[in-house]
Chain A
């Protein structure tokens, strides 16, 4: 699975959009971009994933560049409860494409939402 690079920390004002970047320049065609977050002392929580099209769900939006070398997770109206560590993970999907079942976490981005 390709490596990712994320900023160590970011701040965001409550009620504003939080835009969390992720670089994955070595991503291959079979690899999806996944985002998880971990609120302090809780288990990680899956947020969203995508291949090449922009994706949106009830939690967030995922914007993937046309060359797929970077992506941005958008929390449209950040609240104090969105303060967490956000992880961007690139992963092969499908057993035939090399999905080994392993999910490796990097250091992630610590997002601090401020009042």
Chain B
């Protein structure tokens, strides 16, 4: 199993550009989430999904869109990149049944907006 795969690993954008961060998992997890982590700071939840076709906002959703058309994929779209969105982005997934364990995280996408 590959686990949670995030692409790209690094990205530099110009202010105003749009892009999609990809996240895929092969563990048949129902739940998926996106987090951002600014330098020296904690993780903040952007958006999350409890299943295909269902998404909801987290703590810091502004400037980001998500969709969940399949169980496996949960892309994060930056509509118009701003320097304030310079961060490391982590995708995570888990079973709906929390007794099966915790979230599995990807290795992150390091985004710089200039």
Residue B98 contacts which of A36, A91, A108 (CB distance < 8 angstroms)? A91
**A97 to B81 alpha-carbon distance, docked (Å):** 38
Secondary structure of the B side of the interface? strand
List B contacts of A108 (CB < 8 A): 42
List B contacts of A49 (CB < 8 A): 98, 101-102
Asked, given contacts A44-B90, A105-B42, whether A94 binds B98 with beta carbons under 8 Å apart, the answer is yes
Query: Smallest CB-CB separation from B105: which chain A residue?
Result: A43
Query: Smallest CB-CB separation from B59: which chain A residue?
Result: A104
Tell me the minimal C-beta distance from B51 to chain A in angstroms. Answer: 9
Flag B74-114 by CB within 8 Å of A: 1 or 0 each: 00000000000000101010101111011111111000000
Query: Smallest CB-CB separation from B106: which chain A residue?
Result: A43
Tell me the minimal C-beta distance from B59 to chain A in angstroms. Answer: 7
Tell me the minimal C-beta distance from B23 to chain A in angstroms. Answer: 11
| Contact, CB under 8 Å: A107 / B102 | no
**A104 to B57 alpha-carbon distance, docked (Å):** 12
A101 CB within 8 Å of chain B: yes
Residue A95 contacts which of B44, B58, B96, B103 (CB distance < 8 angstroms)? B96
Residue B102 contacts which of A42, A46, A102 (CB distance < 8 angstroms)? A46
| Contact, CB under 8 Å: A44 / B107 | no
Which residues in A have some Cβ–Cβ distance to B below 8 Å?
A: 32, 34, 36, 38, 41-47, 49, 91, 93-95, 99-108
Q: Would you list 8 pairs from A and B whose C-beta atoms are within 8 A, ordered by A residue?
A: A38-B43, A41-B88, A43-B90, A44-B43, A44-B103, A44-B105, A102-B48, A105-B45
List 5 other contacts, CB 8 Å, given A93-B97, A100-B50: A44-B92, A100-B56, A101-B33, A101-B50, A108-B42
Q: Which A-B residue pairs are the 10 nearest by beta carbons?
A: A46-B102, A43-B105, A93-B98, A101-B50, A105-B43, A101-B31, A44-B105, A43-B90, A101-B48, A105-B42
